[in-house]
Structures are given as C-alpha cells and as structure tokens.
A and B are shown apart, each in its own frame.
Chain A
C-alpha cells in the first residue's frame, strides 16, 4: 500500500509540473473561439487593433512555444478527489506544491510569490499557503481531477465584494457588477470573463466568483433563473462601451459566468472576480492506478 502512495504522489507531482507550464502556453479552444468571435463583433478601430493583436499573440505563443502572457500569476488549483482515490489530500497538496516549484525552476518561470508583509520572495511560486488549492470530495469514485488556473495580478486586483442587503434585490446585484466592471476599465486586460458569486457568505461568494471564471466559456449555470441573469449581465456589460483594453468598443467582456449558493435570509452578498483575456486553465484526470489524462478543455 505504501508503495502505491509513493508512486501516486510522484505521478501527481509530475502532472502538476506539466499542467502549470502547459496552462501558461496553450490556451483552451473555447477561449480561442471566443476571441475570434469577438473580433467579428468589434467595430471600433482601437478595439479591433487590440483583438487582432491578441489573436496574433496567441499564434506567436504557439509557434515560439512561449508563454501567452508574461504574468505567470499565482497558481490556483481545484481538486476533485474521489473518496476511493488512494492518495490522501495531504499528499496531493505536497505534490501540487512541489510540482509548482519544479515547473518554475525547470522552465524557468518568473517567480511572483512574496511574503505579504515584507514583500520578500518566498520561493519558486510557492510559500505559506501557496499555491492555493480548493477541494471538493466526490462519493463513489476513485479518481482525481486537478484543474490549474494561473491567475494574473492585473485581473485579480480587480476583485470586488459587496454585502448587499436583501432589499437591494437582484437589481442591486446587477448594478454592483456593472459598476465594478466600468470602474475597472482597461486595467484587467479586457475583454475577459466576469465571474460573479452570489449568496453564501462573504468568503464563499468570492470563492464562487473564482469558480465561475474557471468554467469553459459560455457554459451556463444549471439553475435557469441564474442562467438568465448570466445572459442579461453579459448583454448589459457589453453595452458599457469600455471595449478591448479599455480603449472603447463593443466587446468589453467575453462572457459573464455566475455561481450561486443559498444564503441567510438577511444576507445578499455579491462578489466579482475578473479573468483577463488570457484566461488560462488546464486540467488533468488521474486514475487510482496512476494513469494520467491531460484535458485542456475541462
């Protein structure tokens, strides 16, 4: 049994090292399609110039095998762990941390991690509670899914939370999302994905917003009421005219995704987390026997 655990830890570590670099270099097809589609909608001259350059940049990254964007971000992983997966989450965390460090040193990648007070570098994109890992546990399954979402600072800095009151209703939620994105202007490298988290608690709303940006572009919330709100906000956000890189235009966002949770009768929290056009994400499925299956589209 001990042997199997050691092996799996190595497998997950190797997979994480590959996943981080791969996510930074090869963006998902749904994102490529959304960027190409944005170009067909954009009519402003600076807006078209920006979108054409983005599409060209993605092609150059493919050719040169270089990073799509220089900001290697903060490594964020989401793990879905089956109850029968033979490696304990503590071991999975160790493997993700070591894998992130190895990717940073071996490539090499810029290391962004600093102590939050002293601002001294804390290591190869690792540190106290870095990388960030979110967990979900799945019954009746023995596999592991890991999704890596490197999050750039330009877009992460444009994160907003408001504890609306119940009397603000859905209107208050919409207004807050719209004002946040107009206020962010060109800083988070638009057009990107606006993630909105509604309900739960203050911390959970922001977590949900982050979950929302990591979804494949244009997927819709399972709840039809929330899905309609996604459609509406997507339309309204593009009516603001902020445009690509904030230079004015028709395409301000590629999509608006919402995740929600039920909440307390006196709470109405709403969180906005922005994901820039370089909406990088990559996934791997690891089976209990150590078989690895990389999946860019998940």
Chain B
C-alpha cells in the first residue's frame, strides 16, 4: 500500500496511479458539495458556477460564520455519509470531469463501474474527525448558491488534507465491497457456531 501526495485539480493519469488501500494527502483546492447541491445540478438542471474539471469533491455541510458579503470563516468542517449521493457519481465524471469524491462510509457497488470507466476514485476520510479536518482547510475561497446554506457549493484551499484512504480505485477494486464480502462469509461461520 503506497503513500501519495496529490494537488487538486488533477489529471486522469495521476488518478489511475492510485490503488485501493493507498494513503493520500491532498493540497490545492477541493469543492464542498452535498445532497441539495447535486439535486440542483442534476435534477433541476442548473449549471454549477464553479469549474469541476479534475476536481476533488468533499461531501460536507460546514459550520461557518459569515464575515461579509459572500465571505465566510470556517468554524468546524467535517464530512458526511456518502452513500446517499451515489447516483450522482457517473454524471459528475461524465459531464463535469470530476476526478475524485471524498466522503465517509463509502459508496455502494454501483459506483465501481463508472469510476473504472471514467478514471475516478473515492477517498475515505475518517468520519467525525472534524477538528483535525478544519485545521487542514486554509481558507474558504468561494461560495455559490448561498440560498442552500449550508449545502452550498464551496471552494476550499487545503494543505496536508488527510490522511485519506483510497476506498474505490479506478481499476474496479472497492475496499467496501471486499470487506463486506469477507464479513458476510465470516458471519456465516459465526452464525453456524452459535
């Protein structure tokens, strides 16, 4: 299991070099997004005003303080459960060139095939470790769709963001799938012994 340092936005080539289980630390820019943000893009057909090409998306609804028109200061920024948003994986890659999605708890198996085909990965963050995550976000640079607060489209500048684990890679491997399969097998054995 290798260790990588990546700056986002990034290229397909970099993404293809990652394998499930690898550790990744991120610098550069990441985009905060959540349920309502993606419902607006895909179900209501509104084009996102921030470029998503090569981007790393973070499933989040940050705690922030308003400090001026369109300006926000971070208070506590953490990550939410990703599984609810799995249906947006394919269009995010296909239409907008998104390269990575970061969240907690993993994406169901239906994300494996589009990630393989389009050259995308899923990064597992440590859910709930928001105190640490907040220190790794240097600044909130841009906010769009403030009417969806806190489920706006956020642009964060980050440094040493991580450690993240490649949960699903672009070669068809998902740790979540493998762990579930192994656990179900063990479970059968355990239940037989009860």
Question: What residues of chain A have their CB less than 8 Å away from a CB belonging to chain B?
Answer: 45-46, 49-50, 53-54, 56-58, 60-61, 64, 66-72, 108-110, 152, 154, 157, 171, 174-175, 178-179, 182, 185-189, 236, 239-243, 245-248, 276-278
Q: How many residues of chain B have a CB within 8 Å of chain A?
A: 47
7 contacts between A and B (CB under 8 A): A46-B1, A49-B23, A49-B163, A69-B130, A69-B131, A186-B106, A241-B182
Contacts of B61 in A (CB 8 A): 70, 110
Contact B23 A60 (CB under 8 A): no
Interface contacts beyond A57-B129, A247-B124: sample of 11 additional A-B pairs, CB < 8 Å, sorted by A: A57-B131, A61-B131, A66-B75, A70-B128, A154-B127, A157-B81, A178-B187, A185-B105, A187-B104, A245-B126, A247-B176
Which of B104, B106, B132, B190 meets A154, CB within 8 Å?
B104
CA distance A62 to B190 in the complex (A): 40
Contacts of A64 in B (CB 8 A): 131, 134-135
Kindly state whether residue B178 has any CB partner on chain A within 8 Å: yes
Which of A108, A152, A186 meets B124, CB within 8 Å?
A186
Contacts of A182 in B (CB 8 A): 180, 183-184, 187
Kindly state whether residue B97 has any CB partner on chain A within 8 Å: no
Contact A154 B105 (CB under 8 A): yes
Contacts of B187 in A (CB 8 A): 178-179, 182, 240
Contacts of A108 in B (CB 8 A): 63, 65, 75
CA distance A186 to B42 in the complex (A): 27
Which of B65, B128, B150 meets A69, CB within 8 Å?
B128
Contacts of A57 in B (CB 8 A): 126, 128-133
Contacts of B81 in A (CB 8 A): 154, 157, 187
Contact B131 A178 (CB under 8 A): no
Identify the interface centre among B60, B80, B104: most chain A CB within 10 Å of its CB: B104
Contact A46 B21 (CB under 8 A): yes
Contacts of A186 in B (CB 8 A): 104-106, 124, 127, 176
Which of A49, A178, A246, A277 meets B128, CB within 8 Å?
A277
Smallest CB separation, B184 vs chain A (Å): 7
Which of A56, A179, A236 meets B132, CB within 8 Å?
A56
Given A70-B78, A110-B63, A242:B127 Cβ within 8 A: no
Identify the interface centre among A174, A187, A278: most chain B CB within 10 Å of its CB: A187
Kindly state whether residue B179 has any CB partner on chain A within 8 Å: yes
Identify the interface centre among B105, B124, B167, B186: most chain A CB within 10 Å of its CB: B105
Contacts of B180 in A (CB 8 A): 182, 185
Contacts of B1 in A (CB 8 A): 45-46
Contacts of B23 in A (CB 8 A): 49
Question: What residues of chain B have their CB less than 8 Å away from a CB belonging to chain A?
Answer: 1, 21, 23, 60-63, 65, 75-81, 83, 104-106, 124, 126-135, 150, 163, 165, 167, 175-176, 178-180, 182-184, 186-187, 190-191, 194
Q: Which 4 A-B pairs have the closest CB atoms?
A: A70-B78, A61-B131, A57-B129, A70-B130
CA distance A247 to B180 in the complex (A): 9
A53 to chain B: closest residue by CB: B126
CA distance A46 to B133 in the complex (A): 18
Contact B131 A240 (CB under 8 A): no
Which of A56, A175, A189, A242 meets B183, CB within 8 Å?
A242
Which of A60, A68, A152 meets B135, CB within 8 Å?
A60
B106 to chain A: closest residue by CB: A186
B189 to chain A: closest residue by CB: A239
Contacts of B129 in A (CB 8 A): 53-54, 56-57, 69
Smallest CB separation, B78 vs chain A (Å): 3
A56 to chain B: closest residue by CB: B132
B80 to chain A: closest residue by CB: A154
B132 to chain A: closest residue by CB: A57
Contact B165 A66 (CB under 8 A): no
Contact A239 B106 (CB under 8 A): no
Contacts of B191 in A (CB 8 A): 175, 178
CA distance A236 to B183 in the complex (A): 11
